[in-house]
Amino acid sequence: MKIEQHISQLLYRYQCVTVPGFGAFLAETHSAQLNEMSNSFYPPKTVISFNANLRHNDGLLANHIARTEKTTYDEALASIQSEVTIWRQILEINQKFSLKNIGELSLNAEGNFVFKPHEQQNYLKDSFGLTSFVSPVIKREVLQVVAPEAVHEEPIALPAPVKKQNHFYKYAAAAAVLLSVGGVFGLKWYNNHIHEQTLAVRSEVQKEVQEQIQEATFVIDNPMAPVTMTLGEEKLPYHVVAGAFRMESNADKVCRKLSRKGFKARKLEPNQYGLYPVLYQSYPSYRDAYNAMKTIREKENPDAWLLVKELN
């Protein structure tokens, strides 16, 4: 059985995939990069590394193979051990061997593992379809400033102003004649006419205001019920796993021990293979969970790993 394809599938979803008795492949996300010398742009990617000290069986790879190949957990674990034996034999003879879409493993002069990841494979799902590219060099134009004395502008001819005949004096003369003729009676008639026009305009304005008030007044027979909002509980989909145990009593023992150390430990229900996973703690973001896992690996459990799953 070729298990490298199963390792490759798990690296898309997990940060650590352990091969029991051999080592662990670790996935670390790198941000987008720019090479200013060559104007090359590289998308974000997940870089794979190898740690030969992480060899404890966490059940992840064996469970995945058993589920995919439709076999038992023990048979999947035996297949992994057989494959690891073949890998070691190849290393002893050729000093190196390649894992498809993952990278190349070799031995140095001291007999330690040296891992070179496969550069063409990107395990970051958010970068699917993105490739590196080279941008053409940007050519910048130099702005030329022309001295003011070097600019010669032709004078603009403006049209001559047109003399308009002032009619104000005609209207003033006519008004003087009317006032002289009408005298006191003309002035009285004029004042009465202005008063009547003012009353008519005021009546029309009041009528329009009353009509608008009547149109805007209405009664809601069935008012809408008040809307209430409830905030859901914070989701904690990222978990640091201490291990998976076949005996429930061992899982309970470890869970109590972690609780005494201050962790919000939790024992999960048995999975389809009869194992009881025990969590150190759950976190709302991947960064918090990853930092906690690094601290736990350094201080007390080098085999701790991350689980990304929505739990009830």
Q: What is the pLDDT of residues 11-60, one digit of tens each?
A: 888 989 999 989 999 988 877 777 766 667 667 878 899 998 888 888 89
C-beta of residue 20 within 8 angstroms of C-beta of residue 77: yes
Distance CA 2, CA 10 (A): 14
Residue predicted with more confidence, 55 or 233: 55
pLDDT of residue 139 exceeding 90: no
Indicate the DSSP class of residue 300: T
Distance CA 40, CA 36 (A): 7
* pLDDT reported for residue 138: 67
- How wide is the angle at C-alpha 24 spanned by C-alphas 20 and 29, nearest 5°? 150
- Segment 93-98 shows an average pLDDT of 83
Distance CA 16, CA 297 (A): 12
Tell me whether residue 185 is in a domain.
no
Q: H or E stretch including 29? A: strand 23-30
Distance CA 239, CA 264 (A): 11
Distance CA 135, CA 106 (A): 36
Coil, strand or helix at 125: helix
* pLDDT reported for residue 177: 47
pLDDT of residue 176 exceeding 60: no
* pLDDT reported for residue 97: 79
Residue predicted with more confidence, 168 or 137: 137
pLDDT of residue 254 exceeding 90: yes
Tell me whether residue 188 is in a domain.
no
pLDDT of residue 248 exceeding 80: yes
The range of the structural domain enclosing residue 289 comes to 238-308
* pLDDT reported for residue 178: 47
pLDDT of residue 235 exceeding 60: yes
- Segment 207-217 shows an average pLDDT of 56
Tell me whether residue 224 is in a domain.
no
pLDDT of residue 145 exceeding 80: no
Look at residues 134, 155, 190 and tell me which one is the last residue of a structural domain.
Answer: 134
Tell me whether residue 278 is in a domain.
yes
Residue 271: count of CB within 10 angstroms of its CB: 13
Distance CA 256, CA 14 (A): 27
Distance CA 279, CA 289 (A): 11
Whole-structure pTM value: 0.40
Do both 130 and 243 map to the same domain? no
pLDDT band at 89 (very low <50, low <70, confident <90, very high): confident
DSSP lists the bridge partners of residue 278 as 243, 267
C-beta of residue 66 within 8 angstroms of C-beta of residue 75: yes
The token duo for 110 is 């001291």
Tell me whether residue 158 is in a domain.
no
Find the range with the poorest average confidence among 30-44, 79-93, 289-303: 30-44
* pLDDT reported for residue 129: 60
Look at residues 119, 134, 149 and tell me which one is the last residue of a structural domain.
Answer: 134
Look at residues 83, 99, 134 and tell me which one is the last residue of a structural domain.
Answer: 134
C-beta of residue 67 within 8 angstroms of C-beta of residue 271: no
Domain count, the chain: 2
Coil, strand or helix at 274: coil
Tell me whether residue 55 is in a domain.
yes
pLDDT of residue 227 exceeding 90: no
Coil, strand or helix at 187: helix
pLDDT tens digits along 103-136? 898 888 887 888 889 877 777 756 656 666 676 7
* pLDDT reported for residue 98: 87
Distance CA 307, CA 60 (A): 10
Residue predicted with more confidence, 17 or 214: 17
Tell me whether residue 166 is in a domain.
no
Q: H or E stretch including 4? A: helix 4-11
* pLDDT reported for residue 16: 93
- Segment 287-306 shows an average pLDDT of 90
CA separation (Å) from 41 to 37, 181, 224, 250, 288?
A: 11, 95, 55, 51, 29
Distance CA 136, CA 40 (A): 9
Distance CA 216, CA 38 (A): 69
- Segment 145-157 shows an average pLDDT of 56
> What is the CATH number for 291?
3.30.70.1070
Half-sphere exposure of 294 (CA within 13 A, CB side): 9
The rounded mean pLDDT for the chain is 76
Tell me whether residue 184 is in a domain.
no
Distance CA 269, CA 305 (A): 18
pLDDT of residue 157 exceeding 80: no
Distance CA 232, CA 207 (A): 55
Distance CA 67, CA 270 (A): 15
- Segment 77-91 shows an average pLDDT of 86
* pLDDT reported for residue 244: 87
Residue predicted with more confidence, 201 or 70: 70
